[in-house]
Structure 1
Amino acid sequence: MIIEGLVAVLLMLTIGYCVVLNGRLKRLRSDEEALRATISELITATEIAERAILGLKATANDCDTTLSDRLYEAERVSLELVEQISTGETVLGRISQIADAARPGVVRPQRTASTGHGNAAGGNAEPEAAPAPSKPMSGKDLKAAAAETAARLENFRRRSSERAA
């Protein structure tokens, strides 16, 4: 009888332990389902992030292409401006030489009726003195004026594009 009692007690302990294990297994299974849902959400978020990264790469490539095109155009315009400024300085130098040569006591030629440049009364016009320039412009002044004009033009374009947008 002692052995039967001992077997009964051990059987009760085994049944109790099985109940505890059953509860733990139920919790583990519910945690497994939550873990699977979390993994599924993580996979979905990863796919969305991968698509976003591909979109960002495409946008970055487009920006790089646009920026390089604009940079090339800006360099071309800059070289063109340098060439035009150089030509302008040459022309300004020639004009300054002509003005300096013509300055001391030079009078404009008289207009006559025979050349079709007479006055309304048909007589000769009085000689006119050439207007004296207030200050001769140098190449640096011309460059500064060109830079200021370019800055104004850029501001105008920026404001126009902002208004259009």
Structure 2
Amino acid sequence: MNHSLGVAIESLVAVLLLVTIGYCMLLNNRLKRLRSDEHSLKAVIAELITATEIAERAIGGLKHAVRDVNENLGNQLAAATSMSEHLKRQLGECDQVVRRLSKITIAARPQGAVEPEPEPAAATRPPPPRASSARAVAAAAQAFSERRRSGGLAA
């Protein structure tokens, strides 16, 4: 009985060794796949790092472009504002010139001439008084000298 018990124990140990060897082979195959996956994972990580660096450079370039556009737009806006103010001043001066010219033409007009119908803006102002020819010449000269003093052209 001792002898059969020893053979049974030895057989059990042999079977367990075979199962262990089979399991080790299975683990070895899995480790090989894991190592091959590790290499492909490293390649993917390297590609991601490269793509991230490219994206960071692109973002930096975009920020620089936005800054340049913002400065350019600000300069253009400031120039447009100053041009608008300049045009407003010129329109005001033009309005004054038109008023002076109308005064000159009214003063230079003979007394018997027919007056044109006033425009709606001129309708709110009282009509200028009729002047004699000497007074008309004086008024025209005065309007001319006012124009000359304001720094504009006389003609």
Q: TM-score range by the shorter chain?
A: 0.5 to 0.7
Find the aligned partners of 1:27 and 1:84 in 2 and give their Cα distance: 83
- CA displacement 1:42-91 (0-9 Å, x = unmatched): 00001101111111111111111111111111111111101100011011
Match among 43, 49, 66 for residue 72 of structure 2? 66
Corresponding letter in the other structure for 2:68: D
Spell out the pairing of 1:121-140 with structure 2 (5 A cutoff): none
- With over 3 angstroms needed to count, the CA separation of the structure-2 counterparts of 1:82 and 1:41, relative to structure 1, is same
Aligned residue-pair number: 116
- With over 3 angstroms needed to count, the CA separation of the structure-2 counterparts of 1:96 and 1:44, relative to structure 1, is same
Say if 2:107 is the partner of 1:101.
yes
Say if 2:45 is the partner of 1:39.
yes
TM-score when scaled to structure 1?
0.63
- Where in structure 1 do 4 or more consecutive aligned residues deviate above 4 Å? 132-139
Match among 19, 23, 26 for residue 17 of structure 1? 23
Corresponding letter in the other structure for 1:66: N
TM-score when scaled to structure 2?
0.66
Aligned-residue identity in percent = 52
- With over 3 angstroms needed to count, the CA separation of the structure-2 counterparts of 1:25 and 1:135, relative to structure 1, is farther
- With over 3 angstroms needed to count, the CA separation of the structure-2 counterparts of 1:36 and 1:134, relative to structure 1, is farther
Find the aligned partners of 1:84 and 1:138 in 2 and give their Cα distance: 19
Which ranges of structure 2 fall in alignment gaps of 5 or more residues? 1-6, 123-155
Find the aligned partners of 1:21 and 1:80 in 2 and give their Cα distance: 86
Q: CA offset at residue 40 of structure 1? A: 0.3
RMSD: 2.5
Find the aligned partners of 2:119 and 2:107 in 1 and give their Cα distance: 14
Match among 43, 55, 58 for residue 49 of structure 1? 55
- With over 3 angstroms needed to count, the CA separation of the structure-2 counterparts of 1:75 and 1:95, relative to structure 1, is same
Q: CA offset at residue 41 of structure 1? A: 0.3
Find the aligned partners of 2:37 and 2:91 in 1 and give their Cα distance: 77
Which ranges of structure 1 fall in alignment gaps of 5 or more residues? 107-128, 140-165
Corresponding letter in the other structure for 1:90: Q
